[in-house]
Amino acid sequence: MGVTKSEIFSESQNQIASVAKVLGHPARIAILQQIIKAKSCICGDLVTEIGLAQPTISQHLRELKNIGIIKGDIEGTRVCYCIDEEKWSEIRDLLATFFQQDICGKDCC
């Protein structure tokens, strides 16, 4: 069917999954790294740096914006994208907490 049955999972499970899903594409990882590396984070620069078409980059930027990990500031005809530090930390902690689960001795096989 292609449609995820979100309703049978907990809010927390859906939240972790939806964040991970957005991180689950190399272009979006590359965009985040480029935004962090460069002080400038103009959409056009990302297009040049990453090597995907402008509409494709724009689409990935929108998905990153949807989970709030980046924000965009309109500067004339350009848009400056940057990390939302608060959300970045929130997502980092969300994943860290997931992985902090005690798995010792669960290696039963």
In sequence order, which residues have a C-beta less than 8 Å from that of residue 94 and are 6 or more positions away? 15, 16, 19
Q: How far is the CB of 69 from a second copy (least distance, A)?
A: 10
**Binders in 15-44 for DNA, by CB under 7 A:** 21, 24-25, 27, 42-44
CB 50 within 8 A of CB 92: no
Q: Is 44 in the site for a second copy (CB under 8 A)?
A: no
Q: Is 33 in the site for a second copy (CB under 8 A)?
A: yes
Q: Is 5 in the site for DNA (CB under 7 A)?
A: yes
Please state the φ and ψ torsions of residue 73, each to the nearest 5 degrees.
Answer: -120, 120
- Record the tokens describing residue 3, joined without a space: 């449609």
- The footprint of DNA (CB under 7 A) covers 1-5, 21, 24-25, 27, 42-44, 47, 52-56, 58-63, 72, 74, 76-79
